[in-house]
Structure 1
Amino acid sequence: MKIAYIATYPPRECGIGTFTNNLFKSMLTNKAPEEQNHEGFVVALNDNDLTYKYPEEVKAIIRQDHQEDYLEAVKYINLSGADVCILQHEFGIFGGQNGVYILPLLHRLEIPLIVTLHTILKAPSYNEKAVLKEICKMAHKIVVMSHKAVDFLVGIYEVPKEKIALIEHGVPDIHFSSEKSKKEFKLENRKVLLTFGFIGRSKGVETVINALPEVVKKHPEIIYIVLGKTHPNVLRHSGEEYRIFLLRQVKKLQLENHVTFLNEFIDERELFKYLYACDIYITPYLNEAQITSGTLSYAVGVGAAVLSTPYWHAAEMLANGKGRLFDFNDSDGLAEMLTELLENPKELSELKNKAGEYGKKITWPKTGERYVALAEEVMKDGHSVTIQKETEPDLLILPPFSLAHINRLTDDTGIIQHAKFGIPNLKEGYCLDDNSRALLMVLMAYKQMKNMRALELSPIYLSYIHYMQNANGTFRNFLSFNRNFLDETGSEDSFGRTIWALGYLLGNAPNDAYYQTGKLVFFNASANFEKLQSIRGIANTMIGISYYLKSNPSDDSMTERLRNLANVLIRHYKENQTEDWNWFEALLAYDNGILPLSLLHAAPILNDPNITEIAIESMNFLTSHTLKDNYLSIIGNEKWYKKEGERSVFAQQPIDAMAMVLMYHQAYFVTKDKDYLNKLYTSFLWFLGENDLRMSLYDFETKGCCDGFESYGVNRNQGAESSLAYLISHLTVLQAYEEFHRSDLKLV
């Protein structure tokens, strides 16, 4: 039997990684003498783009927030000859909202699936519940580690009980002498209390510290060891704030000689020495919501005397005299319990004996045997529960998202508008259009991926916009490389694109400083909204206003401005519409998709079915002239396409492809018609070679996008407009892909 494992894995410091490593080793060594060894490999999950030196059994790696990696991994698994897949599930280790990125992988899996659930929430959010239910539907068997977990799955998540297997958390079969362990750590004359595991506020270590002064009065030989690093997520967001708080509490209570912190993630053999050296093990967690605790299982497994607060796993595991419970935050109760046990060695010994007898039943070799039996059982089914989606872009062909070329084009003033091949053309300086597009792109990248480089770039583009604003709220467009203004007032197109980016910022600001700056510039410009004459300037402005109103729906004045601008577009549409020409002008020119897109943004806000109808009619008209033979053929800028004339094929530009991608994405959002996702994806493939010339405009070496193609071939220059159009389209595909799976779960 060949087994594929999907989980975190050492040397990544993670409890689930340690669990998977033990499971891997215990399953692959459990066999009858006459049987061949089982085979296996691991698909490991990386966090925050960190890299690890994995052992040889790790054959594939998934970067947590990169959707394409999940599809690469499932492709590898399906071609590997594996007979069964075992997934370790914890919401925090997978990318997307509530770990939704794992779903496309599981949907494409072609072998039976076993899922081990490490967290099961009693009061899940709608999304958390929907994601977990979908995972449980696709699994052949679901492994949990407590009876409470079985109850939750059946009662809350509506999982059939026969689909659930209870296999308790395994414990390494490692043994040491208590006396020798104490001697090694120079603790022979101390009574040792121990807590181990990742440290964070929820662990309640202060409950033990606050209990110690009363205990120390009678037992001055007491030492409390807190063994473990601060949890990586806590460290990332709060630093060592909690550990510093605990150290201050120790000093305040004058317990420096009785509490020690070992800020380490140690290997299991060293950990077990500490477990054997301790007299009493304590898990003082602050609330009941923990369905599984590996640290508790280890402590009971080695036969430690365990005291714990009554969280779910502890209340179940320590029943029948295998340990004792004290109330949450009850330092006085804990002090009394500790004093009693330290003064009654016989009772302490009885706790250890009962725990030790139970621990013999849950060693990893025995746990591995049960997993092997379960895997053999699901293999007998002979089929998987793979659910193929009816509309699904193939993210495997997407290049990895990269800001490399944008970094090259950007200096401390803004983004350079043009490039010679992949090299910035400083002679052409900067323009407002591109800095606005750049701001939009990096805000999208930070929102979707938490890309820190995108966050660092955003104030550069925002400050350029601010610098280019005139006193009357309009904007200059062009700035030379030596920072001289090259015009007094920019085009209405550049004005509209700027309002679009600012509106998006106001709905998705990464911090208040950016929000306040964006708000200032946006409202300084607002006096000019209804002065616009260009329909593309109007359309871009409408999109920006729509983004603003999504987060500020009570701004009635801005809503009316949006309505007035929409009416201008509708008037143009009605003036130019004929039986076979459903468009806003007497020609199809450039950036065409932006016109229906603006109405698709405005329609849900204005709640006007007439706007929706015109948006759909004009979009369908544009589709009929640009999507043919299952690929996008953009109206070329060489001659455009005049009514009753011939359309131009060449001088196709990336901004037109971007407009089509965005248009179909918004159409899907408004209508929930999945066919628009097919059209969105087809439009995006224009960048990658599904076009009239069958040539890719994306440059896999520079990570930039070429400026379009002419009759002679691809224009190899890679300016800001083209590269930003590609990146915005790329991000939109990823967003649509996630929304598709969320909507399939009724998450939208």
Structure 2
Amino acid sequence: MKISFIGTFPPRECGIGTFTKNLFDAMLAAPGADGPNQGIVVAINDHEQRYDYPKEVKLTIRQEEQADYLEAANFINISGADVCILEHEFGIFGGQNGIYILPLLYRLKIPLIVTLHTVLKNPSYNERAVLTEICKIAQSVVVMSQTAVDMLVAEYSVPEHKIAQIAHGVPDIQFDQLLAKKEFKLSSKHVLLTFGFIGRNKGIETVLKALPAVVSKYPNLVYIVLGKTHPNVIRHSGEEYRIYLMGLVKKLGIEKHVIFLNEFIDQSELFKYLSASDIYITPYTNEAQITSGTLSYAIGAGSAVISTPYWHAAELLSEGRGRLFPFNDEQALSEVFLDLLDNPQVMRDLRKNAYDYGREITWPKIGEKYAQLASKIVAEQPDEWVEKEMILDLLALPPFLLDHVQRLTDDTGIIQHAKYGIPNLKEGYCLDDNARALLMVLMTYKRNKHPLALKLSPTYLSYINYMQNPDGAFRNFLSFNRNFLDEVGSEDSFGRAIWSLGYLLGNAPNDAYYQTGREIFFDAAPNFVKLQSIRSIANTIVGICHYMKSNPSDEGMKEILRQLANRLVADYEINSTADWHWFESLLAYDNAFLPLALLHAAEFLNDEKVEKIAFESMDFLSGITLRNGYLSVVGNEKWYNKDGENSMFAQQPLDALAMVLMFHQAFQLTKDQAYIRQLYTCFMWFLGENDLRISLYDFETKGCCDGLESYGVNRNQGAESTLAYLISHLSVLEAFEEVSNLEASVV
């Protein structure tokens, strides 16, 4: 069996790297079903650091380089590996909360086992989303304690059968205590030890405060703090914590009893220090630590261990393998120290119990357990790895809810921006969003006569009416205190208003709404042929076509439709080439609206050229954005120039909406159900089928995040993004009804 490992790796100084190296060696030494196991390592570099890796490291990933993760997925897939093992810790992967690892994992074509070194009980939105998605992708999830198992089931909804509990391994290294003490010139000392990366959450100050009461009785006692300051702490705070500890030592008058060793040492040397110590302490400041390698090492070395009751310690030190004391309680710690030092036999019993258990978790035994799990996972997979296939399943969609729209709407209109899920009143209102909001509630009411949709409709319609100028054009922006912020809005906002008004005229819930919408629409109509913006023309075309569905005999409006469609055709003929079938020399924003507009126009114009260009441009855009089997819209960061590269970030919900609408209209024209599958693929962009493999829909607020950025998800949930999601959701529901009706008519 050939195994691919992803994680940090020595010589990078990192606890996860040490774990990965030990697991790599142990699994390759474990018996293989078909001969010796083989392994390769993909190592994670940090902050542009470079390391002189050993030969087993075949590829490196720069932590913050998204492209490196995608390259690694391709490398692993062609490496001949049978299974991949990921060592997961939030801080070692790039993007917000390590989100860059998700695209890599999703692209793997071999089974995945993930070892979780951290499981948070109260994760942030992004932490929960990232970890939940990793657990969905993995065939097996390994944790090191029963507490972690319980948390994954209760907090992250991971099926229990998918979880394997395998203890943290320890090196099979032993030293004689007397000889170790002699080598370190500590023969006459009672030695206390803490080791590992130093940071505020380690609680070392609690030990220091406990020492005065102990050294007054045992003046030959020395406390060794062995370890460097954590690299992340160094980057953000320097040596502030170490300096604080050294100052505290001086203040307490215990300089002769405390030794700081600012080193990162190898395992053999570490176990020599553990053997030399009488008592090992992990005084962490809170319970939220699911795994501690340092604690496991101390148990493996047969140390007498004292710890605060964080999750891993509470389990590992049960059954007489150690002693616990309350968090941040130096008085209780002093009492435990004195009790053990006063009773050497009690200390010997603790050491024996720890040593006996440590024999059960040596790396050879842990490596064998991982190897058995990997063999089982590989055996359960089909000979041909099945590509992840999109399934058309409405039951998999979240409920359609207007909670966040209601939260954003007041008696003026819909607030355009939000701080996370909270309306940002400072930004006021805009025509674009109120037009989209009107469209959404009309679609909602048409579908299920939702009373809230009907209630909200006049608010958005009255905003559009209020923003119309005497010449029929519109202002766009309005402050929260209802002051106009522009004289004339953008042509894009004009087009979106016409889109929603046209839909209203074809789907009005009552005559009052129809008559109001008709007045606004026709007051604006003289401006239709004056438009210059290609996207404003496209939006206006769609609005006109919605109007004409209920007014097909309006020849004057049909002629305006023809003029506007010909404008798009002309732009296409100017810019398209043999390998660039598009209306401009770049793909920018809201791209799919351009072919969408011609697909609508083709319904009414009976023009072969319009229809040909509509499908040709649609296929061209689809070839770029759907080539990986999921939607990857052109990012607004740099867009996609004809002779340049496609920009991956910042991807906007508006673009996903346009893709959904485009395929919906293509289906309505052709009745080809392949377009429904593509529609659904595009909609699933909102729910995690995207480049970062994470949902933009917030299941708590019922809003939609504002986009995919290079660092992760933009957690703000403004009106544009939420309305884009809701209109897309409604389009999916409508399309599936149309498919069902089509199939029923065939039967």
TM-score after normalising by structure 1: 0.61
1:731 maps to which of 649, 652, 667: 649
Q: What is the rounded CA distance, in whole Å, between the counterparts of 1:133 and 1:568 in structure 2?
A: 38
**Count of residues in Structure 1 that have an aligned counterpart in Structure 2:** 521
Q: CA deviation at 1:102?
A: 1.8
Shift of 1:11: 1.4
Query: Aligned ranges for residues 507-522 of structure 1 at < 5 Å?
Result: none
Q: Distance in 1 between matches of 2:8 and 2:59?
A: 12
**What secondary structure is seen at the aligned counterpart in 2 of 1:170?**
coil
Cα distance between partner residues in 2 of 1:563 and 1:381: 66
1:474 aligns with none
Deviation at 1:65, TM superposition (A): 2.1
Does the 8 A contact of 2:495 with 2:540 survive in 1?
no
2:106 aligns to what? 107
Q: Secondary structure at the match of 1:28?
A: helix
Q: AA paired with 2:588?
A: V
Please give the secondary structure, in 2, of the residue aligned with 1:110.
coil
**What is the rounded CA distance, in whole Å, between the counterparts of 2:169 and 2:133 in structure 1?**
27
Over aligned residues, Cα RMSD in angstroms? Answer: 4.6
Residue equivalent to 2:588: 661
Q: Structure 1 residues 111, 567: CA separation in 2 closer, same or farther (over 3 Å shift)?
A: closer
Counterpart amino acid of residue 662 in structure 1: Y
Q: Which position in structure 1 is the counterpart of 2:727?
A: none
Alignment partner, residue 649 of structure 1: 574
Q: Where do residues 586-735 of structure 1 align in structure 2 (5 Å cutoff)? A: 586=529, 592=534, 614=540, 649=574, 660-664=587-591, 729-732=647-650
Distance 2:15 2:698 in 1: 29
Counterpart position of 1:188: 187
Matched, 1:387 2:381: no
Partners of 2:540 and 2:217 lie apart in 1 by 83
The residue type equivalent to 2:93 in the other structure is F
Q: CA deviation at 1:266?
A: 1.1
Structure 1 residue 365: Cα displacement? 0.5
Which residue of 2 is the match for residue 370 of structure 1? 369
Amino acid at match of 1:731: F
Describe the SS at the equivalent of 1:328. Answer: coil
**2:197 is the counterpart of 1:270:** no
SS of 1:45 mapped into structure 2? strand
Q: CA deviation at 1:660?
A: 3.9
Quick one: which of 665, 679, 695 aligns to 1:742? Answer: 695
Partner SS for 2:224: strand
Give the gaps of 5 or more residues in structure 1.
392-529, 533-537, 598-612, 621-640, 668-674, 686-703, 715-722
Matched, 1:136 2:135: yes
Q: CA, structure 1 residues 556+250, in 2 after alignment: closer, same or farther (shift >3 Å)?
A: same
Check conservation: 1:306, 1:323, Cα contact below 8 A: yes
| 1:310–1:705 Cα change, 3 Å | closer
Map Cα deviations across residues 245-280 of structure 1 (whole Å, 9 max, x no partner).
Answer: 111101111111111111111111111111111110
Aligned mates of 1:659, 1:557 — CA distance in 2: 37
SS of residue paired to 1:319: coil
Deviation for aligned residue 1:361: 0.4
For 1:292, the equivalent position in structure 2 comes to 291
Q: Is the 8 A contact 1:574 1:584 kept in 2?
A: no
Higher mean displacement: 297-306 or 131-140: 131-140
Equivalences for 1:53-202 in 2 at 5 Å? 53-202=52-201
8 Å CA contact 1:573–1:582 kept in 2: the answer is: no
Rounded Cα–Cα distance in structure 2 between residues aligned with 1:123 and 1:386? 34
Map Cα deviations across residues 81-102 of structure 1 (whole Å, 9 max, x no partner).
Answer: 1111111111222222332222
Contact 2:133 2:694 in 1 (8 A): no
SS at match of 1:649: helix
- With over 3 angstroms needed to count, the CA separation of the structure-2 counterparts of 1:55 and 1:219, relative to structure 1, is same
> 2:325 maps to which residue?
326
Q: TM-score, normalised by structure 2?
A: 0.61
Point out where structure 2 has 5 or more consecutive residues left out of the alignment: 393-466, 503-520, 547-565, 595-614, 627-637, 654-684, 706-747
2:15 maps to which residue? 15
The 1:568–1:317 alpha-carbon spacing in structure 2 relative to 1, beyond 3 Å, is closer
Question: Offset of 1:41 from its aligned partner?
Answer: 0.3
Structure 1 pair 251–649 and aligned structure 2 pair: CA distance change class (3 A): same
Cα offset for 1:659? Answer: 7.2
Identity %: 50
Residues 193 and 279 in structure 1, CA contact (< 8 A), matched pair in contact too? yes
> Secondary structure of the residue that 1:731 maps to in structure 2?
coil
**In structure 1, what is the Cα distance between the partners aligned to 2:355 and 2:318?**
14
Contact 1:120 1:291 in 2 (8 A): yes
Give the AA of the match of 1:346.
Q
**Cα displacement (A) at 1:288:** 0.6
Write the distance in 1 (CA, Å) between the matches of 2:618 and 2:142.
Answer: 35
CA distance 1:296–1:678, change in 2 (3 Å):
farther
SS at match of 2:193: strand
Query: What's the offset of the Cα at 1:133?
Result: 2.1
CA shift, 1:682, in A, is 6.1
- Alpha-carbon distance in 1 for matches of 2:103, 2:248: 47
Instruction: For 1:651 and 1:44, locate their aligned partners in 2 and report how far apart those are by CA, in whole Å.
Output: 44
Contact 1:680 1:733 in 2 (8 A): no
Counterpart of 1:205 in structure 2 is 204
Q: Name 1:31's counterpart in structure 2.
A: 31
